[in-house]
Structure formats: structure tokens, C-alpha cells
Amino acid sequence: MKEPYRWPENIRAAFCFTIDVDAESPQLWRGRRQTSLSMNELEQRRYGLREGIWNLLETLRRYEVRATCFVPVYEAETRPWLLEALARDNHEIGLHGVLHEVVSELTPDEFARIVEKGVETVVRRTGTKPAGFRSPAWEMTPWAFDVLQKAGLSYDSSLSGHDHPYSLDDTIEIPIQWPIDDAVFFRYSGTGNDRWPPRSTAETVKSWLDVCEGIERHGGAVIPTVHPWLTGRSYRIPLAEALLEHARNTAGLWICTAGELAAYHAASPNLGSFRHSRELPVPSSFMLQGELACLSA
Amino acid sequence: MKEPYRWPENIRAAFCFTIDVDAESPQLWRGRRQTSLSMNELEQRRYGLREGIWNLLETLRRYEVRATCFVPVYEAETRPWLLEALARDNHEIGLHGVLHEVVSELTPDEFARIVEKGVETVVRRTGTKPAGFRSPAWEMTPWAFDVLQKAGLSYDSSLSGHDHPYSLDDTIEIPIQWPIDDAVFFRYSGTGNDRWPPRSTAETVKSWLDVCEGIERHGGAVIPTVHPWLTGRSYRIPLAEALLEHARNTAGLWICTAGELAAYHAASPNLGSFRHSRELPVPSSFMLQGELACLSA
Amino acid sequence: MKEPYRWPENIRAAFCFTIDVDAESPQLWRGRRQTSLSMNELEQRRYGLREGIWNLLETLRRYEVRATCFVPVYEAETRPWLLEALARDNHEIGLHGVLHEVVSELTPDEFARIVEKGVETVVRRTGTKPAGFRSPAWEMTPWAFDVLQKAGLSYDSSLSGHDHPYSLDDTIEIPIQWPIDDAVFFRYSGTGNDRWPPRSTAETVKSWLDVCEGIERHGGAVIPTVHPWLTGRSYRIPLAEALLEHARNTAGLWICTAGELAAYHAASPNLGSFRHSRELPVPSSFMLQGELACLSA
Amino acid sequence: MKEPYRWPENIRAAFCFTIDVDAESPQLWRGRRQTSLSMNELEQRRYGLREGIWNLLETLRRYEVRATCFVPVYEAETRPWLLEALARDNHEIGLHGVLHEVVSELTPDEFARIVEKGVETVVRRTGTKPAGFRSPAWEMTPWAFDVLQKAGLSYDSSLSGHDHPYSLDDTIEIPIQWPIDDAVFFRYSGTGNDRWPPRSTAETVKSWLDVCEGIERHGGAVIPTVHPWLTGRSYRIPLAEALLEHARNTAGLWICTAGELAAYHAASPNLGSFRHSRELPVPSSFMLQGELACLSA
């Protein structure tokens, strides 16, 4: 009844390691109307591009895995060595806003300029045009897909409508999963706004490997997300190692970048099968009227 | 001192696997006065009727277990294949509102039309009249039971006043338990309103099996609740498997539907023994006066 | 440097199993100014005096342990069999308000009438005058101790200033501990106000036994708190069993009631050693002035 | 690519056990504009200087480890024996405010007087000038570093920008980590404001040792933080024991005080390598203008 996703021969599932390379930008965007910033949170975040990114890059090199790195312009421009270092190790670079802006809080025009600025920055610093976008906070809007397409991007990686690549109208979606996003488990600002304590690395390793195995068993694509200031922290590197170790030791697993996944999907028989509309349901106020109308009919 | 629940011969406890087949409707109801919806949450929920329900149905077929499925009209009508697919596998179908409306936010008249609409939809699509109702968010009101009875429904499954079927005036209650509701452990919208991170499948399996064993040991009815967009997710199918495996391997356990449980209760000597009033205590403001009056007397 | 608590000969620590026998009253008090109550929460709470208390009493009988039961007047009067059943099994009965009122929200006069009403109810129904009080929500005020004393009560059991009995001016404090209060781990109303999911029984058993062993090792008094609607639930009885099993198997542990602990403290050489004032620090606004004054001096 | 921190010969990492010796002061500061205080929380906190500190001191003596103790003036003055007892065991004493004031809520002038008062108190009571400051709630501001320097203090211990000592302009930072702060896991006031339940000692031991090993493996400095009213509690002493046991059994680990770490950093080749500006990014509102300006250009 459910059509399985069709992979290349001898492949039964895919694995794509992604890094959201944001440091201060989410805090700056969130606090853009405030006069002060938590210095504690800021120093935590800065760790990411002082130590964390090097810990992650070294680990990836050790396992010979290429990651997909979504980098806000702010981080790329304040650390001029950053995009170059990622490109040198052959990692894919995707867009992640200028200042980690939440898309639904922007106008389409503002978002278009932000995407344009991102493309320009990556081309200027690496010579390669980016193919993908990951929405800050993983929040998209239907109109944002049009902006991505006009800018020549081929995929988005922010939603969870399948466990494998799929299409939302003409954009390819490379699906993420909250249970393998490190921010859910490790972010702890200490500012009094936290709603749960940081999870231990060992517990996280266990639960993430369960997710990997579950998706692989069903023939999907495992797409974990890590941050340099969280998983890049010395005592969380074992999470990255466990994932890469698992991927390396799993037969029939295609270790690839998000761009490679998107390109495969675009050229494969899956394209037609897993196509959905990105449109939201009709406004709910209208639905309720419709509902009540149909009830009173 | 405590009267045990009396089961058929050779039976010491019951097991009833229930599925709340809601996808977008709870988000639409909750957001009915808002102009925008989180697309991330929406795509998570849509997974339920793209992939999740098939994962669950395949699992139930493998263990040869019939489930009880509570389906809102919205999902039934936007996926015309849905009720038919559930009926084809011989699962029981119960009501779950039109748009997953919280009963206490409705007038009795609105609720009556919603129940009527639900009955009409199930009859039209499956040819069978539903016997049961599960309240969205498990929140009932005393007057809602009258509505159910007038509509010819025989049971509700939303409350936890016993660990086995019981009666609230003339309605039979098939009791649920929060510690075996998957939404408590797996729902994570990522919208900033979440209060705890998603629990791992493995931890959930462990804690749910403890609940099963505890209820069985005391001669009750184990009634877990899962959702296609949560437990139906590839990496959570092991929870459904663990429950069904457990049920299949437990001697003296009656694997049944909620409707079968309700029919047994209606015809059994338990009916009289476990009868309670559904009425709430007198309004608390009055109680306090009563309290203070009695104190000052 | 730290003086150890002196126990009777051959005793190295104490264990006192306490039950807060509240069902609806905390919800009624909390919702006293609201026009509606969650029926889901109410049915959960009613389970406590339909099934939970019997599960607990049966367990205590099996391990031959006498508990200390703090019962609000509301529950005692709406279930006329309750106090008698507790007394029949020889459990100690203490006060817990009329409607589980939070002491700090009352006037001293209101609190006095509530205590008086509690004493009257217990005497009338059991023939024995209660000796102790446990503050609903474990929140006391300095003036409330005077009320207790005037009413002839000898101990309070609501605070955590030591791991063994101690004195706050002339009242004996039988100390509780949040990490062995079942409400912290098991209460889950489902009303949308919960801040964390219910903890599993197995995890709770492990963490509570650690607390037991820690207190015993330091020569203190282990005083866990359970509720009929929480730990009394069939699948949580293993927590009560684990505690009682542990107590029974621990050499040198005095298994006693809170009243016995208080009486021992009152007659022992510890009375003088562990004496503190119940007075709060001077109002903090004053302290800050004092602080700034001393700084500017 | 990442420069390793250079330790003395035969040393590969450092371990520094720190105690934040606050009892009532954080509650008094937080509640300074309220007319009442939770007596339950207050008694919990008072446990810290009735029992907890002795439990910790005894444990440290057993493992022959010197701790670094950050003590608010309030606790030092209300318990005249306190600083003397810490000094007698040769522990380092650092500053922690007068009333545990959150630095960002003070004016620079107020903070200067608070630091001055702290220095005066420690000198008067122990004869030794303190070298370090730990910011209450671990929240610093750029200007606060100037105040520390003018007062002759050489280090701060409140931020997490590296896993080893580093410099923020002219002040040395001895970095803390939220995942090894006991308040995150053990604080539970019971006042209704708690956002998660207290974690068990055993789980905490496991996750903290993972942090220790992670930092040590990367050649950093392990700097856990405990409080007398939390980890000093009898049943949490096993956490202190596990840390000290681990430190004692780890080859190449330098067990030292924060002051010794700071002195080493000041005199070592690391001083130049790990130097950062303490300045915050330009105000975010300006950044957004800059961003939009650059976008529209």
C-alpha cells in the first residue's frame, strides 16, 4: 500500500551529516530589539567557532565523511576563514540566512534579499554556487519556496513530511527530524528561559542511533543536525563519532551530502511519486465556518 | 475490600490497542483564530497519513491484532481512502470530533451536531454505525455524555477513573492512561512552545511495558493510545511492535477492541459494581462558603 | 564538626512511610474561583479513593508496616469509611487541611479554624486526637506554627531543613524531601499546564532507593510521601513495594510513624542540639537597604 | 588547525572542584521586592550551612582535595565560623557578591562597592586577599571586568568560551560548564515555578563523568560547580565522591584550585594564544540596519 522509496542499486537507505554553523547570529536575531545580551550565552556560542568547528572537522576527517554545512552570512563574514576551511575539506555549503532570521517574520522581499546575499557570499568566498537552504528554526512558509526557486536553489532542508526526499511543488525537500537535532537536547542558555536541562551525551547517542536504525529499516534517509557550539563541545564529540561510526559500519547505506540527495531525487523515478503541495489548508477560520455550515446543513 | 473486576473464564486482563487518527485537525482547531500555521508542525502531522498509518496497519497485520481507531471527520473526508482502509483490515472505527474540537469549548448543541456529523460520515463510508467516542484532548464534560447517549453511542474512552471499564451514569467508560499516550512522550512541535524534548523509543518501550504489566497484574484493561504521525514514524514502530509482542505473549490476556470491551461490560455483573456519577462536585466557590460556614458554626 | 543525630541503641536511621490522602480537594482549592473543572483530572484523582488507597493498604499489610496518613477533612467527610479504614489497620492519622488549603494564602484565623475542624473530625471518627500536621503543598509560614501549638499538635511535617527530626522553636519538624515525593514524578493532569511528562515507575524506584540509602548512610530519617491517586495506581504499586522491601531488609533501620519519630525527638538529647528559629530573615527590602548602607558606610 | 592548550610537563588536563557557598542569599535577592518568602525553599537552602557544607568538607578531606569556594558576604557574615572553617582546610576563597546580586541588574558603581565589600570581608576573616570572582547566576557584563581589575582581582569564573583558561582582554576566565553545575539538575523549590523535576544522583554521576572524560581527552580543564544545599545533601554526596574518585584515579590530571589555574595561565605561553575581546557585538538593532543596508545596496 505504501510505496517504498527507490534507491540506487545495492543501496537501502541514505545518511547525510549536516551542520548548522551558527554561533552568535540566532541570539542576535532573537535579541535584535533588546538593549543587552546574555554574555554567558554569547560565550557559549562563540565556543562553536573557537573550538567546536575544529573538533567536528577533525572528526569528519577521521571518518572520511563529507558534511553539509548551512552557514549564516553573519558567521561567514565575521570569520573570513570559515567558508574556505569548510570548502577545503570538501564539505557542501548551504544557506542559513544572514542573521539566522526566522522566515515567517520576514516579508517575501526581505527574504529574497537575504537569499541573494547568501548566494553572493558563498560564491565570492568559495567559487561555488550553493544548491540548498535550511530555514533557521526549521520554519518555512509556502511563499518562501518561490523565493528559493527564483534564486536558483534546488532544495530546502527544513521539514519532516517524509523520512526520505520528497517534493513540495517544484522544490525538493531533504527532511530533517527533531529527535536528531542536537539543539533540542543540548542547548541550555542558563538565562532562566530554559525549559529542560541539557541531556547527557551518552543518552543522546543511544536515542539517536535508535532513530538511525528505524529510518534505515524503513528505507529512508537519516539526516542528523549538529551545531559547532553544542555537539562541537569536547564532551559531545562522542555523539558525532557514534553517528559516523554507525554510518561507516552499516552495509547498504549511502553516505552523501544533502545536495547529492537532492540531485538524485530530481533525476529519479521517486520525483513523481512523492509529490505534495506546499499549500497550507484553507485558513482555519474559514474551515470552521465550512464545518459549521456543513453541520447545520 | 476492593472488588476485583470480573472477566470471562480464563481471562485475567484485557488489552485494547487504540489509534487516534488525527493529522492536521488538532493544529487547525488550536490555530483557528490565527492567520498563520507552523508549516513545520503541519508537515510532521501530514507524515501520519502519508506514511505513519501504513506503518501501523502493516504492524497490526503482522501481529494479527484489530485496533480501535478514533478518526476526526476532517481526516476522514480529506483522505477518502482512510475509513475504507481501516475497515478493510477489520479495525473498529470510533468518533473523534469533526476538527478535533475540545468538548469543553463547545456548546451542547454544537457538540451534538459534531457527533451527528461523525456518525453520518462513518456510516456513509463504511456502512457500520460507530459505537464509541474519544474526546479530543481527553477532556469531557458531564453534559457531553447525554449527547453521546442521544446519538446512540454506547461508550466514551477519555477518562481514567478505574483501570478497567466502568460506568458514569448510563455511559460506559473505557479508561485511558496518560503514561501510555504517545503524544505525552513524542509530540514536539519545535515552535518554541514545547515543554520537554521528545522521549526516545527505547525508554518509552520500557516504561509502557511496565504499565502493561502493572495493569495486568491487578486484573485491569491495558488501553494504550498511539498516533500515526507520532508512533507511526518509522523509528517509533518498535513501540507498537513491543506492545503487540507483549500482548501476544501474555497468557490470559483478552486482546479486543474498545467496542468489544464496552459490550462485555454492558452485559456483565461488573455493570452494577463499578457505577459512578459523572457529576462534578458542587461549584468550588459554594464549597468554600460551605467550608467556612461549617468552620464558623 | 557536624553533630550526628543520636538514635536509640542499635538503630542507625529511621524510615517512615507517609501517605497524603488527598483526592479532589487540591483541584477544588486551586479551582475555587473557576466555573469549571477538568473532568479528566478529577477522574484521575477519584481513582485514588476508588482503587488506589486499597492497593496501598493491601501492600502495607503485606509488609506489616504502619503508615502515617495526612487526610484533608473534605476527603474524610465525603468518604465516611475512610478514616475508619485507616485506623482499623493501625495507621497514624494526621491533618492536611479541610480543602487542602495553601497555608500562606490564609489568615491565621482561617487557618486556626481549619486546624480545629481537622482535629474535631479525626477525634469524632476515630476516637484519637491527631498529633501532626502536614502542610498542603508543603508550604508553611512562621505564624502557622503558633496555630498548631495552640491546637495541641506536636509536630509539623512539611520542611527539609535537616535529614532528621529537628525543632523550629517549640514545634518538632519531621522533614520531607522533594526527591521522594511522588507528585513531583507522577502527577500529570493533561490540561496543558504540565511541565514535564510522568516519570516511569522503574526509574523512580531507582532514584528513590538512592535517596533512602544516602539518608540512611548519614544516620537520618527517610520519609517518603505517596498519594493514593498516584502511587496507588496499579502500575506504580511496585514503588511502594520497593520502598517497603528495602526498609524491611535494612538492618538497624527503625520503621516507625511520624508521630513516633516526633515523640522520640521530644524526649531525646537531640532536642536541644538541633534547634532553630522559624523566623524568616528580615524582609529583603530592608536587607538591601542594610546592605547598601553598609556598602556606602 | 586548533591550537592545543599547553600544560606543564606530564600534565594533560586539569581538575578544579568549585563550591558556590550560597544558602539564603539567592532567594533573598530574587525576592527582594516581595513581602513573603517560601519557607520550604528557605529551609532547603539553610540545610546547606547546617549539614551540607560539613558533608562536603568531610568528603574533600577524605580525598585530600582543596576546593575553590565562592562565598557571598551574606553567608559569610551570618555564619561567622564559615570562612574560617573553609580556610582551616586550606580551600581557596573567592567572591560571589554580597547578596548573590545578578551583575547585569546593578550599576557599575553598585557592583564596585559589592566587590570591595567582598574583598574586605575575606581579608578581615581569613587574612588573605581573594583572587577570583564568580558571578551569581554566571551572568557577566563587559564593564564588570573593569571593576574586578580595579579591585585587584585576577580572574573571573562565570563563562564558557573555551574548555580551558582563556583571557577576555586583561582578565583571566576560568571556564564553567552548565552540564556540570549541580543547580541545573538538583534545584527544586516546589513553589510551582520549577520547570523540571530533580535529577537522580546516579544519572547525574554518569553524565558528569562523561563531561570529565570529554574535557580531559581534549586537554581542557574540568571545573564542576556544587552547592552545599544541593550536592551537600546526604543522598547527593555520592556525586562529589564520584568526581573526586575520578580525579584521584586519572593519570596526568592536575588537581588544583581556580586561583592556581589562573596563576598558571597568567604566566604561561597560553596567555597570548587564547585572548579574546570581551566586547559584545554591536547592538543588534544597529546590526539589522547594517544588514538591511548591505542588502539593499
Q: For chains B and C, what is the number of CB pairs under 8 angstroms?
A: 129
What band does B34 get if pLDDT is binned at 50, 70 and 90?
confident
Choose from D33, D35, D37, D39 for mutation: most chain C CBs within 10 A. D39
Q: What is the dihedral of CA D209, D90, D100, A24, to 10 degrees?
A: -40
D146 touches chain A (CB under 8 A): no
Cα Rg, chain C, nearest whole Å: 20
Q: Is C270 helix (H, G, I), strand (E, B) or coil?
A: helix
* Domain-located, residue D6: no
* Domain-located, residue A114: yes
For residue D109, list chain C residues with Cβ-Cβ distance below 8 A. Answer: none
* Domain-located, residue B170: yes
What band does D47 get if pLDDT is binned at 50, 70 and 90?
very high
Q: For residue B19, which of B196, B163, B197, B157 has the smallest C-alpha distance? A: B157
Strands of chain A (E only): list them: 13-15, 18-20, 68-71, 92-95, 132-133, 155-156, 166-168, 171-173, 221-222, 225-226, 253-255, 275-276
Q: Chains with 3 or more CB pairs closer than 8 angstroms to D?
A: A, C
First to last CA, chain A: 35
Q: Chains with 3 or more CB pairs closer than 8 angstroms to C?
A: B, D
C-alpha cell at B266: 454492558
The model's pLDDT over D89-125, given as tens digits with 9 standing for 90+, comes to: 999 999 999 999 999 999 999 999 999 999 999 999 9
Residue A208 near residue A177 (C-beta atoms within 8 A):
no
- The predicted structure's pLDDT at residue A93: 98
Instruction: Give the strands of the sheet with D13-15, arranged side by side.
Output: D221-222, D13-15, D253-255
- The predicted structure's pLDDT at residue A122: 98
The model's pLDDT over B90-115, given as tens digits with 9 standing for 90+, comes to: 999 999 999 999 999 999 999 999 99
What's the rounded mean pLDDT across residues B217-223? 98
What's the rounded mean pLDDT across residues D227-240? 98
Q: Which residue in the set D1, D218, D295 is minimally distant from A234, CB to CB?
A: D218
- The predicted structure's pLDDT at residue D153: 98
CB contact under 8 A, C280 and D202: no
- DSSP output for A31-60: TTT-S---HHHHHHHHHIIIIIHHHHHHHH
What band does D36 get if pLDDT is binned at 50, 70 and 90?
confident
- The predicted structure's pLDDT at residue B297: 47
B2 touches chain A (CB under 8 A): no
- The predicted structure's pLDDT at residue C297: 47
- The predicted structure's pLDDT at residue B283: 54
Q: What secondary structure letter does DSSP report for B52?
A: I
* Domain-located, residue B6: no
* Domain-located, residue A3: no
For residue D199, list chain A residues with Cβ-Cβ distance below 8 A. Answer: 197
- The predicted structure's pLDDT at residue D180: 98
* Domain-located, residue B142: yes
Q: Which residue in the set C43, C99, C201 is minimally distant from B161, CB to CB?
A: C43
Which residue bears the cell 555564619?
Answer: D79
Domain that holds residue D121: 13-296
Number of domains in chain C: 1
A202 touches chain B (CB under 8 A): no
What band does A297 get if pLDDT is binned at 50, 70 and 90?
very low
CB contact under 8 A, B159 and C39: yes
For residue D233, list chain C residues with Cβ-Cβ distance below 8 A. Answer: 163, 214
Residue C22 near residue C75 (C-beta atoms within 8 A):
yes
- The predicted structure's pLDDT at residue D281: 81
Residue D1 has pLDDT above 70, yes or no: no
CB contact under 8 A, C114 and B184: no
Report d(CA C90, CA C69) in Å as an integer. 11
D22 touches chain C (CB under 8 A): no
For residue C207, list chain D residues with Cβ-Cβ distance below 8 A. Answer: 200-203
The model's pLDDT over D149-173, given as tens digits with 9 standing for 90+, comes to: 999 999 999 999 999 999 999 999 9
C283 touches chain D (CB under 8 A): yes
A106 touches chain D (CB under 8 A): no
Q: Is D156 helix (H, G, I), strand (E, B) or coil?
A: strand
CB contact under 8 A, A197 and D185: yes
Which residue of chain D has the CA closest to A97? D291
Q: Which residue in the set B160, B179, B206 is minimally distant from C43, CB to CB?
A: B160
A107 touches chain D (CB under 8 A): no
Q: Which residue in the set A137, A141, A160 is minimally distant from B43, CB to CB?
A: A160
Residue B87 near residue B126 (C-beta atoms within 8 A):
yes
What band does D222 get if pLDDT is binned at 50, 70 and 90?
very high
Q: For residue B219, which of B159, B271, B270 has the smallest C-alpha distance? A: B270
Burial of B80 (0-12, 13-18, 19+ CB in 10 A): exposed
Q: For residue C45, which of C179, C189, C178 has the smallest C-alpha distance? A: C189
Residue B294 has pLDDT above 80, yes or no: no
pTM, entire model: 0.96
CB contact under 8 A, C218 and D237: yes
ipTM exceeds 0.90, yes or no: yes
C107 touches chain B (CB under 8 A): no
Report d(CA B43, CA A161) in Å as an integer. 5
Q: Which residue in the set A1, A104, A179 is minimally distant from B36, CB to CB?
A: A104
What band does B284 get if pLDDT is binned at 50, 70 and 90?
low
The model's pLDDT over D52-91, given as tens digits with 9 standing for 90+, comes to: 999 999 999 999 999 999 999 999 999 999 999 999 999 9
Q: Which residue in the set C161, C215, C288 is minimally distant from D235, CB to CB?
A: C215
Q: Chains with 3 or more CB pairs closer than 8 angstroms to B?
A: A, C
Gap from D22 CA to chain A (nearest CA, Å): 18
Which residue bears the cell 586548533?
Answer: D2
Q: What percent of chain B has pLDDT over 70?
A: 94
Gap from B259 CA to chain A (nearest CA, Å): 26
Q: What is the dihedral of CA A102, A104, A108, A112, to 10 degrees?
A: 20
* Domain-located, residue B5: no
For residue B210, list chain C residues with Cβ-Cβ distance below 8 A. Answer: 200-202, 235, 238
What's the rounded mean pLDDT across residues A152-165? 98
Q: What percent of chain D has pLDDT over 90?
A: 89
Q: What is the CATH number of the domain that holds D270?
A: 3.20.20.370
* Domain-located, residue C24: yes
Which residue of chain B has the CA closest to A135? B40
Query: Helix count (H) and strand count (E) of chain B?
Result: 13, 12
Query: Helix count (H) and strand count (E) of chain D?
Result: 13, 12
Mean of the per-residue pLDDT values of chain A: 94
- The predicted structure's pLDDT at residue A95: 98
Which residue of chain B has the CA closest to C117? B295
Type of residue numbered A275: R
For residue C102, the tally of other CB atoms under 10 A from its CB is 17
A180 touches chain D (CB under 8 A): no
Helices B237-248 + A201-217 axis angle, to 10: 80
Which residue of chain D has the CA closest to C145? D39
Q: What percent of chain A has pLDDT over 90?
A: 89
The one-digit pLDDT tens for each residue of chain C (297 residues) are 688 999 999 999 999 999 999 999 999 999 888 778 899 999 999 999 999 999 999 999 999 999 999 999 999 999 999 999 999 999 999 999 999 999 999 999 999 999 999 999 999 999 999 999 999 999 999 999 999 999 999 999 999 999 999 999 999 999 999 999 999 999 999 989 999 999 999 999 999 999 999 999 999 999 999 999 999 999 999 999 999 999 999 999 999 999 999 999 999 999 999 999 998 886 555 555 666 555 554
**Chain D 24-63, residues with CB within 8 Å of chain C CB atoms:** 24, 28-29, 31-40, 42-44, 46-47, 50-51, 54-55, 57-58
